[in-house]
Amino acid sequence: MAKSKKSKNKRPFIVTLILFIIISAAIYFIAGELIERQSKLMYPKKYEQYVEMYSEKYGIDCNIIYSVIHTESGFDPQARSSAGAIGLMQITPDTYDWLLYLRGEEKTRELDDIRTNIDFGTYFLSYLYKKFGNWDTVFAAYNAGMNRVSGWLEDPAYSDGITLTYIPFSETRNYVDKVGNTIIKYKQIYNEE
């Protein structure tokens, strides 16, 4: 009879333990789902059809394009900067005119058009990569200007002759870091290598 009482006493403990394990697993799963959803809200993949189209056309990783858009405009197609930059990828009208000239095109679309902005922003990134061959240098040039970065590359105080070793503008240094960190976030959140 004593044995039977011990058995009865263990049942509530075992049931409680099993319930605890089930509830803990459910909480873990739900928390993971909520964290993933929150992360995707903070690092969205908006305008995916255009990003993918121009990523393929110009040979630029989608995560780079998303990261530049995230950093430049926070995905606001109506964004305007104090320097006159327009749209998702914050292109100035002068840069747009120059890129049109490079491509041998007439102006038929406005820069605040989402597709146009992603097209020319991605084209500009590909142009800068062909010129500099290093993503940190590309991001610096996208932010501070191509001619300025070319000058930094010629200055031993800022370059080893191939890549930038120091960026003298804190805004540009921060920009390069932010875009680089955002690329890492996109790859982590969307499980990409």
Q: Does the active-site annotation cover 154?
A: no
What sign does the CA torsion over 66, 68, 71, 72 have? negative
Q: How far apart are CA 4 and CA 61, in angstroms?
A: 67
Report the candidate in 157, 182, 143 with the shortest Cα–Cα distance to residue 62: 182
The b-or-e profile of 79-101 (16+ CB within 10 A means b, else e) is beeeeebbbbbbbeeebbeebbe
Enter the DSSP assignment of 126: H
What is the CB neighbour count within 10 angstroms for residue 147? 9
Catalytic pick among 33, 36, 72, 154: 72
Single-letter code of the amino acid located at 168: P
Q: How far apart are CA 127 and CA 93, in angstroms?
A: 17
Enter the DSSP assignment of 47: T
Residues recognised as catalytic: 72
